Amino acid sequence: QQPVQSPQAVILREGEDAVINCSSSKALYSVHWYRQKHGEAPVFLMILLKGGEQKGHDKISASFNEKKQQSSLYLTASQLSYSGTYFCGTSGSARQLTFGSGTQLTVLP
Amino acid sequence: DGGITQSPKYLFRKEGQNVTLSCEQNLNHDAMYWYRQDPGQGLRLIYYSQIVNDFQKGDIAEGYSVSREKKESFPLTVTSAQKNPTAFYLCASLRGIGGYGYTFGSGTRLTVV
């Protein structure tokens, strides 16, 4: 079953923060986060594994609450380059991902 | 550099035709996947393969077929049985379990004319 992402869309000014949520009705082994620019392939951002810690690099980080089967992606001090559609992908086993419908993020100057 | 090559970038299909989308990787990854993306939508799994000569149906396999005769190659055939094939098709591979993300190809945009 497809994970539910929220919000569907968000518009920010440069330097503002954003949070994107991903929720599943199934027990999860891993959560992936990807960013896709228009007309391009998704690019892997990070993976969170069951039993793992919160991850992050630069100003993008994520958390994984196994009990609630939820993950959140945090974008801090957003830059113009952060614009795109963000997808979470969830896996109940090790290899197949089911993707959410995406969150469209627009960062304005 | 290693990566996934999908071809062609754009493909036009007439009603009743079968077409084949190519996906080649030189990453030495075992697992490969085909996803379909419709405008404004997420990615839906068509087929996947975890090893040569073996593949499994995903959520929307009807009207599609695949083969995995070589580790590097995972072509997708869109058959005439697929009634609404216009979409963006993405091929992906995975290095292994635990800690790795998918590597995606640049996609093939298929349009029925």
> Which pLDDT tens digit goes with each residue over B42-68?
899 999 999 999 999 999 999 999 999
Q: Do B102 and A97 touch (CB under 8 A)?
A: yes
- Residue A59: per-residue pLDDT: 86
Taking the CB of residue B89, how many other CB atoms lie within 10 A of it?
Answer: 23
Model confidence at A1: pLDDT above 90: no
CB B78 within 8 A of CB B64: yes
Q: What is the mean pLDDT of residues A32-37?
A: 95
Which B residues 10-49 touch A at CB under 8 Å?
31, 33, 35, 40-45, 48
Nearest residue in B to A102, CA atom: B42
Place of tokens 């100003």: A59
* Nearest chain B alpha carbon to A8: B40
Taking a C-beta distance cutoff of 8 angstroms, is the pair A91, A29 a contact?
yes
Which of A32, A95, A98 minimises the CB distance to B50? A95
- For residue A74, the distance in angstroms to the closest alpha carbon of chain B comes to 18
Average pLDDT, stretch A7-14? 96
**What is the per-residue pLDDT for B55?**
96
What mean pLDDT is reported for chain B? 92
Rama region for A51: left / alpha / beta (φ>0; ψ in -120 to 50; rest): left
Per-residue pLDDT, A55:
66
Task: Name the burial class of residue A9, with classes exposed (0-12), middle (13-18) and buried (19+) by CB atoms within 10 angstroms of its CB.
Answer: exposed
pLDDT at B32 over 90: yes
Residues 6+ apart with CB under 8 A from A71: A21, A22, A31, A33, A48, A62, A63, A64, A65, A88, A90
Mapped onto helix, strand or coil, the DSSP state of residue A40 is coil
User: Which is more confidently placed, B93 or B16?
Assistant: B93
Please, which contacts does A59-62 make with residues 24 or more away whose CB atoms are closer than 8 Å? A62/A31, A62/A33
B23: closest CA of chain A, how far (Å) = 14
Residue A96 confidence (pLDDT): 82
